[in-house]
Amino acid sequence: GLDPNSIGEQISFFFNSHNGFVEEIAKFRAARKIWATIMQDRFGVTNEKAKMCRFHAQTGGSTLTAEQTDNNVVRTTIQALSAVLGGTQSLHTNSRDEALSLPTDESVKLALRTQQIIAYETNIINHPDPFGGSYLIEELTEELVTKVFRIIDEIDLMGGSISAIKSGWIEDEIAKSAYEYQKNIDNKNQIVVGVNKYKDHKSENINTFDIDINSANEQIVSLKIYKN
């Protein structure tokens, strides 16, 4: 019963930015086109603001490695750049040590500085959709749009998203994707630097975040009092 012309202005999305710099830029561009098409063709939206795909992007936590944690700074920077070039409205950069523990203050500051350098030193924020018109980016964008609509059509034939979830189809697709990704790493078809290639055989001395046990116990007591 909600008017999509009105509610559409208030909807935003949360996307991850993973490895594959060019593909990720195309992914974000494709998302905007898919959203605009669905809102216009399926819901008859005429409000241009409601057709805009607003999204927050976070760098891919699952791509961070416990090995050679400094490499995660490079991964996060590349992922953050692809999100910005793909048109994200807001951004979160993961800290280098999140594969091991909660991030240290030092790691959090470095993640913040990564964003600030992109924002203030690269000038890319002055050029919306800078890769638009690139034959490769446009081709990848259209390819993703086509593949996504095929999946949407398949879900529609099942009776919609709820039916697809209840049948276990969506969970199976996620599991298959995760399995293929890990298999490619195990087979070295997908190289992860420091994990399955260019390993260091010496142990790393990494300063991880230490939880203050007294503070944790105080919080537990406080929570029990609140709930009682």
Contact at 8 Å (CB) between 87 and 128?
Answer: yes
What is the reported pLDDT for 148? Answer: 97
Averages of pLDDT over each 10 residues, the chain, 228 residues: 93 96 98 97 96 97 94 97 96 96 94 97 93 96 98 97 97 96 95 94 82 87 92
The pLDDT assigned to 192 comes to 96
Predicted local distance difference test score (pLDDT) of residue 1 = 82
Distance CA 167, CA 10 (A): 30
- Number of neighbours of residue 80 by Cβ within 10 angstroms: 24
Q: What pLDDT sits at residue 205?
A: 80
Q: Are 99 and 62 in contact (CB under 8 A)?
A: no
* Cα–Cα distance, 86 to 88 (Å, whole number): 6
